[in-house]
Amino acid sequence: MLRPEDLLRPTPEGLYCPPGDFHIDPVKPVARALITHGHADHARPGNTAVMATAETLDIMAIRYGEDFCETRQVAVIGERLDIAGVTVSFHPAGHVLGSAQIAVEKGGLRIVASGDYKRSSDPTCAGFEPVPCDVFITEATFGLPVFRHPTGQAEIIRLIRSTEQFPERAHLVGAYALGKAQRVIKLLRDEGYDRPIYIHGALKKLCDYYQTQGIDLGDLRPATVEGGDKGVFAGAVIVGTPSAFADKWARRFPDPLACFASGWMQVRQRARQRGVELPLIISDHGDWDELTETIAELGPSEVWVTHGREEALVRWCALRGLPARPLHLVGYEDEGD
Ligand SMILES: [Zn+2]
């Protein structure tokens, strides 16, 4: 019987499968990479061969150029593929458009590397699909019992109320470029917000791509002030990357009201440090309940914990008699929290 460590093990390059000779989400260039999703810490350019969902491959090409790898292979969700006697399959992770968990199987042993995931609803991507497995590899970005995320809908309603309460102020919403920005916009549309939404130039290509994938983001316009009438931004929602709003660019808008959409906005000190007036707790990672409920639902015989607050989740497993260990993978600081 194969031991889990013989099928998948942490290495400095990332998770490595010795019998299949491939890496999952490598942090350094490798010969063969399987990629869970398009965030920059998981999907890097320079690998020789890349296998990922069609959306993740498109997103990598948008971000890095068509030459981000030498050969690419589309992984169709749910389809089983053979790599040197190892069976791999991709399953929705509910994190961002195209995001997938990767199941790796050999000799009756199945390990699921879930990448980043969440269980709460997201109108911009397919929902997380539980895959029974012997070893479940879970992220732990918000792996502490204090982290409990409200619904995205509830947070977006707070944003809409604020635009009504302060109709003269430009509402600047900081959101990561892949996933979060489009989710914020789509949530606004789903709540009936039908005014134009202004976006920073750094978001344009990915927003356009989401629209081509059937995610209707409505009337999006460039948030450019030069030569235009500043008045159009009064009470408007302007979405930009967090770095754009740290820049001089943001100070051109009328009486700006700083908002930021992130799971970290639950930590008041973080909101204060960033000068955020309206923190929106909208996370693309599972909170404590989502992480623990997922483990309980899957009932694996072993759990490996990575990305973030590993110890609390390892202890939670141990208290239930479930073997668990931290992977201590380095190089993953999610750009899309
Ligand atoms: Zn991510």
The reported pLDDT for the residue numbered 228 is 63
Cα of 284 from ligand 1 centre, angstroms: 8
Dihedral of the CA atoms 116, 120, 124, 126 (nearest 10)? 70
Sheet holding 109-113, edge to edge: 80-83, 86-92, 100-106, 109-113, 135-140, 302-308, 324-326
Q: How many residues does the chain have?
A: 337
DSSP state of 231: G
Place of tokens 């470029």: 177
Query: What's the gap in Å between 246 CA and the centre of ligand 1?
Result: 22
- The first and second tokens of residue 177, run together, are 């470029």
Sign, Cα dihedral of 47, 80, 56, 313: negative
CA dihedral 133, 4, 325, 9 (to 10 degrees): -120
What residues contact residue 32 under an 8 Å CB cut-off, 6+ apart? 21, 22, 23, 47, 48, 49, 51, 83
How remote is the CA of residue 239 from the centroid of ligand 1, in Å?
19
Q: How far is the CA of 95 from the centre of ligand 1 (A)?
A: 7
**Which tokens hold the place of 288?**
């404590």
CB 187 within 8 A of CB 152: yes
The answer to whether 286 touches 298, Cβ cutoff 8 Å, is no
Q: How far apart are the first and last CA of the chain?
A: 38
Report all structural domains of the chain as residue ranges with CATH numbers, in order of start.
Answer: 4-146+285-326 (3.60.15.10), 152-280 (3.40.50)
Residue 115 alpha carbon to ligand 1 centre in Å: 7
Residue 142 CA to ligand 1 center (angstroms) comes to: 13
Distance from the alpha carbon of residue 128 to the mean position of ligand 1, in angstroms: 14
Residue 111, amino acid: I
Q: What pLDDT was estimated at residue 308?
A: 84
Taking the centre of ligand 1 as the mean of its atom positions, its distance from the CA of residue 192, in whole angstroms, is 28
> How remote is the CA of residue 38 from the centroid of ligand 1, in Å?
7
What is the 166 CA–ligand 1 centroid distance (Å)? 33
Estimate the crossing angle of helix 180-190 against helix 204-212, to 10 degrees: 60
| Ligand 1 midpoint to CA 26 (Å) | 14
Q: How far is the CA of 176 from the centre of ligand 1 (A)?
A: 10
Under a CB-based contact definition with an 8 Å cutoff, are residues 24 and 34 in contact? yes
CA of 37 to the centre of ligand 1 (A): 7
Please tell me the distance between residue 255's alpha carbon and the centre of ligand 1 in angstroms: 33
154 in helix, strand or coil? helix
Return the exposure string of 82-97: e unless at least 16 CB atoms fall within 10 Å of the residue's CB, then b. Answer: ebeebebbbbbbbbbb
Structure tokens at 47: 């690998």
226 C-alpha to ligand 1 centroid (Å): 34
So what's the pLDDT on residue 337?
Answer: 65
Please state, as a whole number, how many other Cβ atoms lie within 10 Å of the Cβ of residue 264: 17
Q: How far, in Å, from the CA of 334 to the mean position of ligand 1?
A: 5
Q: Please give the chain's pLDDT, 337 residues, in tens.
A: 899 999 999 999 999 999 999 999 999 999 999 999 999 999 999 999 999 999 999 999 999 999 999 999 999 999 999 999 999 999 999 999 999 999 999 999 999 999 999 999 999 999 999 999 999 999 999 999 999 999 999 999 999 999 999 999 999 999 999 999 999 999 999 999 999 999 999 999 999 999 999 999 999 999 986 656 778 899 999 999 988 887 777 878 989 999 999 999 999 999 999 899 999 999 999 999 999 999 999 999 999 999 888 999 999 999 999 999 999 887 777 666 6
Q: Provide the whole-model pTM.
A: 0.95
CA of 232 to the centre of ligand 1 (A): 34
pLDDT in the model for residue 227: 58
Q: 187 near 173, Cβ under 8 Å? A: no
Distance from the alpha carbon of residue 107 to the mean position of ligand 1, in angstroms: 30
CA of 252 to the centre of ligand 1 (A): 31
Look up residue 10 and give its two tokens: 């942490």
